[in-house]
Chains A and B, each alone.
Chain A
């Protein structure tokens, strides 16, 4: 019996891991059918779509999402406490990334919302304690009504599927940047990389990047570098722009100096006055 349970547990954990590995793939590189109901949500379909202002119940009381994002942008993620798969690792990686990138409280708040109707304010508080985020004012762990869950998940393309065999929900791991009620970025993946989070924060902060360079191999000199974590910065190639000006001055100065030096030396004096 113990070995059977053990075997079942390992299958559960294993499938959870496999699922999370699958979800750990970068958001863009997915092969999942975007049209299928259980594919990985594609960011562009939901970009700038409005997010319903659902009510979130927390240990501190009830708050509407629009009141939250009215004050500052919100990073929203959907989890459930009975999760033996990706949820806890995901929230921990989000916690670590937020710590690395900074700006919490000033630029944004995080809402960790449960989509499981069986979750309560207490179970979510327990989850918060579990990941070391209890009593943090800018980390909001809460639950919402089942009808709100449905409105929310439909609006942002999130899907939830109950697996009776595993007695677990199958679901993607997402992080949504919400600014004034609209989806600004949509990250999918089992872990939150600080670099990706930084991009989301910048967007939320309203830093309008009129462009962003695409990665290209073999480029020798670039004007700009897009360094995740630092944003767009000038690269060495940029020096090639003012360099000719300074070099021209230098060459001219040298030319004048050497011609006048030769003039001072009678042996090399050219003809003429």
Chain B
């Protein structure tokens, strides 16, 4: 889902709220309360409108959720393990600390092909981390939590070639700002 449109809509809605409050505040200067029946009608209208809006939004956003879908079969699997303070990104499963060390220190960088559906299998060996995908223009394009004791599966299709950074997005200690991993798409 694109990031700018929802935020713009939010700003517009906020501006709308400000205008309503400003209008009511200005109208406070003239005596004359709201007629109760009119107020009731407005309330009911607001209720129906908001319920409808919530329903529409649910219907619109539900299918766009980043959760892996049943029907797709990924083309590649990439294993990512977070540990204070680095991410190991590898095509082989990382099942213990020494494999993690090896992957971080000597592992071959993972290279993915553009357009293929990649499945990230993400976990952590210590605390909660956040796997984030920053594209070559340093824009955040996706994320998933890395929780110790669980393997989360995130599916993504990369199109832009270049180097992708994996920054930690869940505060994990003093090394949090320098925790990272990377992979290539080419």
Contacts and interface: CB of A to CB of B under 8 A. Distances in A.
Interface of A: 28, 42, 44, 47-48, 179-180, 182, 184, 206-214, 216, 219
Interface of B: 67-71, 73-77, 79, 91-93, 95, 119, 123, 149-153
A219 B67 CA distance: 27
Contacts of B151: 211-214
Given A211-B152, A214-B150, 7 more contacts: A44-B77, A44-B92, A48-B74, A184-B73, A208-B70, A212-B150, A216-B149
A216 B76 CA distance: 27
7 contacts: A28-B93, A44-B77, A44-B92, A182-B73, A208-B67, A210-B68, A214-B123
A184 B150 CA distance: 20
A19 B140 CA distance: 50
Contact of A48 (B77, B93, B123, B153): B77
Contacts of A209: 153
B150 A213 contact: yes
A211 B144 CA distance: 11
Task: Give chain B's interface secondary structure class.
Answer: loop
B150 A211 contact: yes
Nearest to B93: A44
B80 to A, nearest CB: 13
B70 A206 contact: yes
A209 B70 CA distance: 9
B75 A48 contact: yes
Contacts of B71: 206
Given A44-B91, A44-B92, A211 B73 contact: no
B70 to A, nearest CB: 4
A150 to B, nearest CB: 24
A209 B77 CA distance: 15
With most chain A CB atoms within 10 A of its CB, the pick from B69, B73, B149 is B73
Nearest to A223: B150
Secondary structure of the A contact surface, majority rule? loop
Nearest to A29: B95
A184 B74 CA distance: 9
Contact of A208 (B69, B76, B123): B69
Contacts of A182: 73
Nearest to A43: B93
Contacts of A214: 123, 149-151
B150 to A, nearest CB: 5
Nearest to A46: B77
Contacts of A212: 150-151
A255 B75 CA distance: 60
Contacts of B95: 28
B38 to A, nearest CB: 38
B67 A210 contact: yes
A213 B149 contact: yes
A45 B149 CA distance: 23
Top 4 A-B pairs ranked by shortest CB distance? Answer: A206-B70, A208-B70, A211-B152, A47-B77
A219 B150 CA distance: 13
Q: Interface centre among A206, A210, A212, A216, by most B CB within 10 Å?
A: A210
B49 to A, nearest CB: 31
A212 B147 CA distance: 11
B81 to A, nearest CB: 11
Contact of B79 (A28, A44, A210, A211): A44
Contacts of A179: 73
B157 to A, nearest CB: 13
Contacts of A28: 93, 95
Contacts of A213: 149-151
A180 B73 contact: yes
A210 B153 contact: yes
A48 B75 CA distance: 5
Name the residue among B70, B74, B150 with the largest chain A CB count within 10 angstroms.
Answer: B150
